[in-house]
Chains A and B, each alone.
Chain A
Amino acid sequence: MNAFYENFQRHSHGEGLKAHSTHYCPGCGHGVVHRDLAAAIDELGIQDQTVLISPVGCAVFAHYYFDVGNSQAAHGRAPAVALGHKLAHPEAVVISYQGDGDLASIGLAETISIAQMGVPITVIFINNAVYGMTGGQLAPTSLMGQKTTTTPEGRGPAMGQPLKMAELIAQLDGPVYVERVALFDARERVKARKAIRKALTNQIEGRGYSFVEIIAECPTHLKMTPQEAEEWVKTKMAPVYPLGVKKDLTVEPWFKPGAPVFEPTPLLELIGAEPSADVDAHAPPAWPAHLPARDIAIKLAGSGGDGAQTAALLLTRAAIAQGYDATDIPSYGPESRGGTSYADVHLAEHEVLNPAAPMPHVLVAFNAPSLSKFAAMVKKGGVILYDSTIITAPPLLPAHLRVYPVPFTRIATELGRPVVKNVVALGALQAALQILPEDSVVDTLRHVLHDKPAVLPLNEAAFAAGRDAVEALLLPA
């Protein structure tokens, strides 16, 4: 048989008998299934393609024996590891080989979720109704009344009922083939071999996920001879775990992912990068001398839906397009779904040293709670713009601030769309502070809305109207 190593070098360095003997106890069902699996791999000619995932449990050392690609997984995680291998190399034939503790207890979430995904992998499930490697403890598949080291009086009703994995997996929509087989006599062993072969064929042909449960003998922990164990599986286990095909769908081959793309052009398009011949040609304009600092902090605050976040991002983009540095930190989490939503923007000549804005130079407030909450934090000599349509009774604001009440909402409504009140606010901010060159925000709007040209005039009008409103306030009375 090719699929077994000629010498088990990984088994105690292949010393002595270990070069050709397994670590399994005499009569162990694992050994029988190993031979079945090796035979199927040989018959299907897939030795080079096969990646075998060994679990934690008695089969943890499957990689000692199988001359295929091997990966040894953490307890219960073999299907997740198998999925990783399958998606990395879809032409590999990936087998997740697991026992009952691994598959049906600690790894239940992985087992079910990956079965339901339906990606063609092959799961071989050895159900021997007991934990082997740790020494005979209760398994999720132990029978009622079965004595184990952790159920010395026998499994009672409060210790759960035997978990019927094949039936559970079969009722999922993901798998195409689920069968339960056994090893207790020659006839069943022939069926087991066929089932394993079919489960592999489904994968090779890209038809889907297959699951073969094999009820198997653990003579050591059943404290029986191998013959008694076979009889026990036949007469005690099989009635609880009925043998046979649980699901067998006829599915056309479907799993054939294309080769991953590593070409620069499609990637740059997907991330929105724009090649440019003269990236560093234009130096940023001189930083306006009238500003109090080379790094201006602006807090934009309102209710979720006021557009504070969009306005913050537009401002940030506009500054970066000019060659300045800029940052925008949104408030995130529950607050952005209804409560106060705010964003901290920094625009800096060279480098934003500190992107938070606990004490901003400028506050743009879209509602009364925002104005009340943040007005006191504005730096001395700073600027507040607020929506005087919404905030009709503003709190007493510190005298050292420049305050611009601007009816963002009314202006936007008169233009036909209240949602552009944030762009009205940006126009107002432009007139009040003139941080960025006159056209920069509108240029950014044009850029951002290039695929929605219909709404551009509205936004341009909103920006102009906001700017005009503040300029009107600035005119000598």
Chain B
Amino acid sequence: MSASVRPKPYLEPQYCKGCLRCIEACPRDCITPGSAINPATGLVPVELHLENCNGCTLCLQACPEPYGLRLETDRAGLEGEFVLEDPAKLFGEKCVPNHSEGDLPDDRRALPDCEPLVLKGTYATAIGALLAGCRHVFGYPITPSTEGAELMARILPKLNGHFVHAVSEVAAVNMMYGAGGAGLPCMTFTSSPGFSLMLEGVSYMIGAEVPGVFVNMMRGGPGLGNIAPEQTDIKLACRGLGHGNTHAIVLTPSTPQEMLDLAIDAFALAFRYRNPVILLGDGYLGQMTGKVRLPASMIRPGLPAWAVWGDRAHRHNLISSIALAEADLEDHNEHLNRKYAAITACEQRVDCYRCRDAEVLVVACNTPARMAKGAVETARENGVKAGLFRPITLWPFPIDALAEIMPGVRRIVVVEAGPGQLEDELRLALSHANIAPPPIDHVRRCGGNLPAQDEILATLLAREEVLS
């Protein structure tokens, strides 16, 4: 193309901030500092004198504004001989598959009946995640949760999936932000100190509405604590998921079977609500081996319409948690609040064991719920009408089911491996529901000790003697 036909620059003065970087760039001195303030911007745009311009475009490369110096050919409505080629014409159509508008739905595939598996809890969760369509796992080793990640590291490469041993929990959660933002099911295995580190990323995921599943096998704290089971991240999971207005569904398994079943549910919930889901277990649940049956089907995940996938159909999507204008951020929070309200209305889950006629209600979750179940059984044999109320969602707390039972309940005993975080959730839920609770006793252990069945039974029976 000869110099005489190369397009020349043009400038809409209101888009020039007058930085003058173009002046030095021009080898022919075609640009001079302006002399007049632009009334729209209050700035002084440069002035172009294009008599000597040969269309070298060096000034364009110096201009920091996308709509600052441009070629005449880019001018809206300008008909000229200079037509920019469509990149597709020059380079061929993209090899990327273009998804149609809207969600590409999950595909459910039937599984044959299988013999029950004998699995460690973390393995059961890993297998649940695989069946739920998760092929992207990001993690950092931490006892007592590591085995799940190790199993994924063995299996995923054989399924063309990816396990990344990240440089830290902080990096791992942000890899989830990426893979989840691309619309795929992803997860991590961690334990309490690692979960603390991930919370910044969890807040970002909630703000940007990125799904992902966090498996936290709680261990003893605070600080480095120890590696034995505790339930002292209930506060974090239910009330403290990083900064800002955050909530996530918190699922509390109590058997290896539930470690698998709830992992599958966790992915469905994460995508239904575009939100992280926390699978909150204790160290024993991660390590305990037991009988696990496989579900009737597995999932090949689809692709949601909102995904930042890297193709034409999803090009206009944005994963972001920033909303600079106060009104925008308030709107966004109100949107989140409506989501939280919907979750609270629709997703409360509980296992009620012998609660229908219960006068003494034991509230427990995770492994301590199993000790509690044993104690309830024995208390019944001793004539005490005990029942076990075992939340399967800690957030939202299953208050609707509790409210139905409460009229007959004379006493509550909260059993937990911690100093009262479960009891706080219970009391808060009762308070919000305007239910005046009966006396609440508790059996609390910590440091890695779990409440023993006999301790629980003693508490169940003790006051009964006092009362009778």
A129 is an interface residue with CB less than 8 A from chain B: no
A158 is an interface residue with CB less than 8 A from chain B: no
The reply to whether B65 and A85 form a contact with Cβ atoms under 8 Å apart is no
Q: List 19 A-B contacts (CB under 8 A).
A: A1-B66, A20-B15, A20-B67, A21-B15, A27-B64, A30-B64, A36-B61, A49-B311, A51-B182, A70-B317, A89-B309, A89-B310, A110-B170, A260-B135, A262-B298, A267-B130, A276-B114, A326-B290, A355-B288
Tell me the minimal C-beta distance from A357 to chain B in angstroms: 10
Binds B, one of A140-148, A164-172, A182-190, A469-477: A182-190
B421 is an interface residue with CB less than 8 A from chain A: no
Binds B, one of A74-82, A299-307, A392-400: A74-82
The residue that B61 contacts in the complex, of A24, A193, A257, with Cβ under 8 A, is A193
Chain A residues lying within 8 Å of B452, measured Cβ to Cβ, are 356, 358
Binds A, one of B265-273, B318-326, B332-340, B401-409: B318-326
Q: Residue of A at shortest CB range from B323? A: A10
Q: Which residues, 54 to 87 on B, are CB-close (under 8 Å) to A?
A: 58, 60-67, 70, 74, 87
The residue that B320 contacts in the complex, of A12, A27, A63, with Cβ under 8 A, is A63
**B160, B170, B178, B291: which has the most chain A beta carbons within 10 Å?**
B178
The reply to whether A84 and B289 form a contact with Cβ atoms under 8 Å apart is no
A272 is an interface residue with CB less than 8 A from chain B: yes
Give me 14 other A-B pairs in contact (C-beta within 8 A), A4-B67, A36-B61, A83-B175 excluded: A20-B66, A21-B15, A25-B17, A26-B43, A27-B19, A42-B87, A77-B177, A81-B174, A189-B62, A226-B19, A264-B298, A267-B298, A328-B290, A356-B452
User: With the chains together, A98 CA to B122 CA distance in Å?
Assistant: 37
Q: Could you count the A-B residue pairs with CB atoms below 8 Å apart for me: how many are there? A: 359
Tell me whether chain A's interface is mostly helix, strand or loop, or mixed: mixed
The reply to whether A354 and B21 form a contact with Cβ atoms under 8 Å apart is no
Known: A69-B308, A88-B182. A268 touches B171 (CB 8 A): no
Q: Residue of A at shortest CB range from B185? A: A88
Q: Residue of B at shortest CB range from A312? A: B289
Tell me the minimal C-beta distance from A32 to chain B in angstroms: 5
The reply to whether A329 and B288 form a contact with Cβ atoms under 8 Å apart is yes
Chain B residues lying within 8 Å of A333, measured Cβ to Cβ, are 143-144, 226-228
A68 is an interface residue with CB less than 8 A from chain B: yes
The reply to whether A32 and B21 form a contact with Cβ atoms under 8 Å apart is yes
The reply to whether A17 and B143 form a contact with Cβ atoms under 8 Å apart is no
Q: Residue of A at shortest CB range from B144? A: A332
Known: A69-B309, A268-B114. A227 touches B178 (CB 8 A): no
Tell me whether chain B's interface is mostly helix, strand or loop, or mixed: mixed
The reply to whether A22 and B204 form a contact with Cβ atoms under 8 Å apart is no
The reply to whether A261 and B160 form a contact with Cβ atoms under 8 Å apart is yes
Chain B residues lying within 8 Å of A325, measured Cβ to Cβ, are 290-291
Tell me the minimal C-beta distance from A14 to chain B in angstroms: 12
Q: Residue of A at shortest CB range from B111? A: A264
User: With the chains together, A381 CA to B185 CA distance in Å?
Assistant: 52
Chain B residues lying within 8 Å of A60, measured Cβ to Cβ, are 322
Chain A residues lying within 8 Å of B94, measured Cβ to Cβ, are 45, 48-49
User: With the chains together, A4 CA to B68 CA distance in Å?
Assistant: 12
